[in-house]
């Protein structure tokens, strides 16, 4: 809870500077310990730029014909200095569920540095004879939230580079290992086995893929002390995984603590201007063909978040067609604001 509230700017401290640089051993992004929240510190009410606010209001009014406000349509424009330039439709706040995925990714970034790589370790106990590993191979998951088919193929190639083309024993799954969003160790292990064996794939996909035959797969507990470490597979840095976290439901994000049903205007503003949101935005935002060229956006369902070159952040929630808002977004790039 403290991480979430700090991220939203209610605790008055940056979670990124408050946490140690190296996460604790064995941390799982789906089992984040939530400390007792600190007493809330009132968030100062921003002082809007009245000239800018009046201009935005005039522009908004002028374009009512193009972007009619439905009952739940909302708009927020936040200046880089932390002041709210313009807001409309915030009487009831913003439903937290609209920002759930952003909050989950922010929670992940609160606990891991952006250059962190999740490790999946491979141990073996046996002997290698003519390409056959006579013994068991242990796969020890390190909490990678996005271990995919391609990671499995890479792991098979790493084993093949060690001379292993067949495992006569079992592929034993232990630790915090998931694959393609599958959290059951046996099911995740079966997916990993299939990624090792291209003869089970479509014929057009088999050529050139590493092939490591596995006799059996099952869940294990601990790796025998006598088993040496054969290799370590590392994920891409978390910062590079952010675009996948936004769009792929197979990306396993951490559970959130109990949050209020709605967020206030100031809480959403703090979220937009937080370091975590800036990082998410910088890694995942893209130009949209229907948007002004100077505006990059992230879109999820009916919620849009954008940033102008001068650092202004804009959030809007609407079910209106995107073509209806293009003119307004072009016009609010007024040079005097």
Same domain for 269 and 324, yes or no, is yes
Residue 180 carries which DSSP code?
A: T
Q: How far apart are CA 16 and CA 113, in angstroms?
A: 8
Same domain for 102 and 131, yes or no, is no
Contact 239, 283 (CB under 8 A): yes
Same domain for 90 and 184, yes or no, is no
On whether residue 249 sits in a domain, the answer given is no
Contact 185, 177 (CB under 8 A): yes
pLDDT for 324 equals 62
Top-confidence residue, 64 or 94: 94
Same domain for 101 and 131, yes or no, is no
Same domain for 134 and 228, yes or no, is yes
Element (H, E) at 92: none
Structural domain for 141, as ranges: 119-235
On whether residue 303 sits in a domain, the answer given is yes
On whether residue 31 sits in a domain, the answer given is no
Which residues share a beta bridge with 216? 170
Same domain for 289 and 315, yes or no, is yes
Total domain count for the chain? 2
On whether residue 77 sits in a domain, the answer given is yes
Contact 296, 64 (CB under 8 A): no
Same domain for 95 and 137, yes or no, is no
pLDDT for 142 equals 94
| Structure confidence by residue, pLDDT tens digits, 243-286 | 999 888 889 988 887 788 898 988 888 888 888 888 888 888 87
On whether residue 113 sits in a domain, the answer given is no
Taken as a whole, the chain contains a residue count of 337
On whether residue 43 sits in a domain, the answer given is no
On whether residue 246 sits in a domain, the answer given is no
On whether residue 251 sits in a domain, the answer given is no
pLDDT for 91 equals 82
Top-confidence residue, 326 or 265: 265
Q: 10 Å Cβ neighbour count for 68?
A: 11
**Token output for 168:** 């006569």
Same domain for 101 and 123, yes or no, is no
Same domain for 98 and 126, yes or no, is no
Q: Among residues 337, 336, 327, which one has the least CA distance to residue 63?
A: 327
Same domain for 127 and 230, yes or no, is yes
Same domain for 218 and 285, yes or no, is no
Q: What is the share, in percent, of the chain residues with pLDDT greater than 70?
A: 68
Q: Among residues 141, 168, 145, which one has the least CA distance to residue 155?
A: 141
CATH of the domain at 313: 3.30.450
């Amino acid at each position: 809870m403290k991480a979430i509230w700090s991220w939203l700017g209610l605790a008055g401290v940056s979670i990124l500077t408050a946490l140690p640089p190296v996460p604790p051993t064995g941390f799982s992004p789906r089992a984040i310990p939530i400390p007792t929240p600190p007493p809330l510190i009132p968030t100062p009410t921003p002082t809007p730029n009245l000239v800018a606010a009046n201009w935005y209001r005039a522009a908004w009014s002028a374009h009512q014909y193009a972007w009619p406000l439905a009952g739940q349509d909302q708009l927020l424009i936040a200046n880089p200095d932390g002041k709210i330039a313009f807001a409309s439709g915030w009487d009831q706040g913003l439903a937290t569920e609209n920002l759930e995925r952003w909050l989950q990714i922010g929670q992940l970034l609160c606990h891991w540095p952006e250059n962190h790589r999740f490790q999946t370790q491979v141990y073996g106990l046996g002997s290698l004879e003519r390409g056959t590993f006579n013994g068991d191979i242990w796969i020890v998951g390190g909490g990678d939230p996005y271990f995919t088919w391609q990671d499995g193929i890479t792991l098979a190639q790493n084993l093949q580079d060690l001379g292993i083309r067949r495992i006569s024993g079992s592929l034993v799954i232990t630790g915090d290992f998931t694959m393609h969003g599958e959290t059951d160790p046996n099911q995740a292990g079966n997916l990993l086995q299939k990624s090792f064996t291209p003869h089970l794939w479509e014929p057009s996909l088999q050529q050139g893929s590493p092939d490591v035959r596995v006799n059996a797969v099952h869940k294990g507990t601990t790796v025998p002390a006598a088993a040496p470490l054969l290799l370590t597979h590392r994920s891409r840095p978390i910062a590079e995984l952010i675009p996948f976290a936004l769009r792929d439901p197979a990306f396993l994000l951490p559970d959130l603590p109990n949050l209020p049903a709605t967020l206030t205007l100031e809480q959403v503003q703090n979220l937009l201007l937080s370091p975590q949101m800036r990082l998410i935005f910088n890694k995942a935002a893209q130009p949209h063909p229907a948007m002004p060229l100077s505006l990059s956006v992230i879109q999820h369902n009916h919620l849009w978040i954008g940033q102008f070159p001068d650092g202004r952040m804009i959030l809007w929630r609407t079910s209106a067609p995107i073509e209806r808002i293009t003119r307004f977004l072009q016009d609010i790039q007024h040079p005097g604001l």
